[in-house]
Amino acid sequence: MRPLFAPPHRASDPILWHGLIALAFLVLVLIRIKIPSAPYFDEVHYVPAGRRFLELSNAVNLEHPPLGKEMIALSIWLFGDSPFGWRALAALFGTLALFASMRAMWLTGRAGTASVLTGLFVGTNFLLFVQSRIAMLDVFMVSFLMLATWMVVGAWRQNETARWRLAIGGVAMGAAMAAKWNAVPLAVLPGLAFLAIRMHAAGWQVVTATRYPPIRGMALWEAALWLGVLPLAVYWASFLPYAAFTSPGEAGQGIIALHRHMIELQQQIVKPHPYQSVWWQWIPNIRAIWYLYEVIDGAQRGVMLIGNPITMIAGLPALAWCLWAGIKDKRRECLGVAVLYLISMALWVIAPKPIQFYFHYFLPSIFLSAALALAVERLWQRGDRLVAGVITIGALSAFAYWYPVLTGAPLQDDQAFLLWAWFDGWR
């Protein structure tokens, strides 16, 4: 099998397909994005927090870093303090996350099929779609991480572009951490991977050598600048607007004191929520959240967050195959996807956060969907085209079937949810 750092395949770049898939995703996201016309689910926290940044008044929602709330403020400033204005930037960044995931897969050196399938499975896995239609922090964190993944993979594959790619990637990693702490385990991974690969290749010359992988022509100190110092600087800079607040509260006590307060808020015991769940329920897709289910804007409407049943279940054996193929056949793109999934899941296995929700599976679901893309490509290549076709068409069909309760469409009555909530854990 081809090593990760070999030149990319000469097959034609499917960037046009990537762009068309991303555009179709954005169009579908924008349908009914102004519904509901009032803040719903966690928008009731984050929209007011975004407004505070525009007003520079009192700091609220301090349990999370500020950048996600600053992005919501920017969205309101650009598009107006309205339902569309609250959510517009989330839609654009969700589309960026989808496009970046396809570009990252292409740059691993695989044929274009896997990258196109990545777009189809990620775009229809329900989580990215729903989170791209709501003013929450998670879509910004995921989008910045996928942008960083695209840039870092590109830097490792095309060393002549490494400096500008790592500059963008470093900014994106810092922005991801500044949107939500969930990003930290993956944001530190590129720097640690660079160090490990360089130490293995260069031995005692690790500090001064530049002719070794993963990026030939770049010294360790420069990689540390792009992958360590720059992300931390971006993260720190996201807190600077608090200095201009008239009533910053704990945010005005200095960044170290603020972080102590943030950790305390993250670990505090809060009232149980009817839709809370734990990590092992996310994997088999057995615990949904209804972000909305009420009569609003003239009709009974619902917004359901659950994983695409086809993608989430078929993705599990695909993930196991990726791990096996990565170790046995040295398919590093498969191993990379599996490792990224496991690291992003490990956070929630050990996290002290007392209340967790299915939307915390958002980031792992991206890598699960990418693993399914690699597995379906392999099924197609070895002649199991019926199975590959059934999985792909099944995932797209499930997305079409659930679309009304992904987008707040008018429903027949207050019992209509039973058409989609097949199990008790989905109700």
pLDDT 10s digits, 313-345: 999 999 999 999 999 988 989 999 999 999 999
Q: Is the pLDDT of residue 8 over 50?
A: no
pLDDT of the residue at 343: 96
- Look-up: residue for tokens 């929520």? 273
Tracing tokens 């199990």 back to the chain, one arrives at 423
- pLDDT at residue number 9: 45
262-302 pLDDT, tens per residue? 888 887 767 788 888 999 999 999 999 999 999 999 999 99
Q: Which of 3-7, 138-142, 230-234, 367-371 has the lowest mean pLDDT?
A: 3-7
Most confident of 123-132, 239-248, 268-277, 323-332: 123-132
Q: What is the mean pLDDT of residues 62-74?
A: 96
Segment 128-143 mean pLDDT: 98
Residue of higher predicted confidence among 165 and 111 = 165
Q: Which of 39, 125, 118 is nearest to 306 (CA)?
A: 125
pLDDT of amino acid 6: 44
User: What pLDDT is stored for residue 113 in this prediction?
Assistant: 93
Residue 112 confidence (pLDDT): 84
pTM: 0.94
Mean pLDDT confidence for 8-33:
89
pLDDT of amino acid 207? 86
Query: How does residue 253 score in pLDDT terms, banded at 50, 70 and 90?
Result: confident
Across the strands, what pairs with 356? 277
In the predicted structure, residue 44 carries a pLDDT above the cut 80: yes
Cis peptide before 241 (omega within 30 of 0): no
Q: So what's the pLDDT on residue 82?
A: 97
Q: Which of 420, 353, 413, 372 is nearest to 125 (CA)?
A: 372
Segment among 53-67, 253-267, 368-382 with least mean pLDDT: 253-267
pLDDT over 60 at 50, yes or no: yes
Most confident among 4-8, 75-79, 155-159 (mean pLDDT): 75-79
Q: Are 120 and 392 spatial neighbours (Cβ–Cβ below 8 Å)?
A: yes
Task: Tell whether the model's pLDDT for residue 397 goes beyond 70.
Answer: yes
What single-letter amino acid sits at 370? A
Is residue 7 predicted with pLDDT exceeding 60? no
Angle ∠(416,308,379) on CA atoms, nearest 5: 145
Q: What is the per-residue pLDDT for 111?
A: 67
Average pLDDT, the chain: 93
* Model pLDDT, residue 46: 97
Percent of the chain whose predicted confidence (pLDDT) is above 70: 96
The arithmetic mean of pLDDT across residues 62-76, rounded, is 96
Q: If you average pLDDT over residues 158-187, what whole number do you get?
A: 96
Nearest to 303 by CA among 64, 73, 38: 38
Q: Is the pLDDT of residue 2 over 60?
A: no
| Per-residue pLDDT at 361 | 96
Is the pLDDT confidence value at 109 over 80? no
User: Burial level of 298, CB count in 10 A (0-12/13-18/19+)?
Assistant: exposed
**Cβ atoms < 10 Å from Cβ of 196:** 11
pLDDT exceeding 90 applies to what percent of the chain? 83
pLDDT band, residue 11 (cuts 50/70/90): low
Residue 160 phi/psi, 5-degree rounding, is -70, -15
User: What is the structure's pLDDT at 265?
Assistant: 87
Cα separation, 96 vs 164, in Å, equals 19
Looking at residue 209, what is its pLDDT?
Answer: 87
